[in-house]
Chain A
C-alpha cells in the first residue's frame, strides 16, 4: 500500500472475485460456534423453512470478507482499520461468485484517516452487503 500522502480520493481497492462454497460457509459457522438455531447457515432445508431462498452466509462472515479487502490493502504497513460499518441488504447465498469492491471516498489530513466504501455484489450486479471503512495511517 502507498502512504497516506500517496493515496487519492477515487482510488480503488479490488475488485476481488470470490466463490464462497457451502462448505466454507458451514466451516465458518462451525468455527464460530454457531451451532443450534443457526440452521440457516448450514442447511438449505432449514433455511427454506425460514422463508430464505436456501443457505445464507452469516452477516459476520460478510463483514469479515469486506474487512479483508481493506486489511489486504493495508498489508503489513503501519495503518489500522479503525471502523467498519455494514448493512446486510440482501441475503448472500453460498455457491455463488461474489465481487467485492472498494473506493477511497474521503481523506482527512488532520487525523490521517481515509474513508472507504466497500460492498459485495452478486453476478447480477446487485449489491448484497454495503459498508464504510475507516483506516488510520500511523506515523
Chain B
C-alpha cells in the first residue's frame, strides 16, 4: 500500500514567481538575525577587495525566496500539518544586492515514511532561482513533511 496521490502531480510545474528585488538592507537584516559578521556580506569597502568584488548575500540567503504565493499555494498537501523536514541546496552563484530573483519550481517526489511522530508523507519540491540576466543562482530541493 502506498500513499494515494494523483500521479499527474509528479513533475507538475508551478507558475514562475514574480521577481523579488534583493535590497541591500534585507541582506543586512538577514546577517544581523544570524549574527553574521563576515565583511564580504556586511562591509562594502572590505567586500570590494574580496573574491566577489562587492557585497554578496550569505549563501544560505537563497533558501528565503519561497514566500511568494505562487510557491506555497502549489505545494501538494497531505493531512493537516506541514513541517519543513530538510533542504538540499546547490549554491551556483552569489546573490547580490539589486538582483531580481525568480523561482521556478516543480514537484519532484512524493513518498511515505514512518518516524518518531507517526506516519508522514514527504513532498519534495525542486526550485531553481534565477536573476534578471537568466543566470542560475541556486537549485533547492525543499523536503516538506505532512502529518495527519
Contacts and interface: CB of A to CB of B under 8 A. Distances in A.
A85 B124 CA distance: 13
Interface residues of B, number: 31
Interface residues of A, number: 34
Contact of A85 (B60, B81, B84, B88): B88
A30 B134 CA distance: 29
A61 B31 CA distance: 11
A85 B89 CA distance: 6
A28 B36 CA distance: 12
Contacts of A28: 33-34
B48 to A, nearest CB: 11
B35 interface: yes
Given A75-B38, A76-B40, A84-B60, A63 B87 contact: yes
Interface string A74-99: 01111011111111100000000000
Nearest to A75: B38
B17 to A, nearest CB: 13
Q: Which of A64, A80, A138 gathers most chain B CB within 10 Å?
A: A64
A82 B92 CA distance: 7
Interface of B: 26, 29-30, 32-36, 38-40, 46, 50-51, 58-60, 63-64, 67, 81, 83-92
Interface of A: 18, 24, 27-28, 31-34, 50, 58-61, 63-65, 67-68, 71-72, 75-78, 80-88, 138
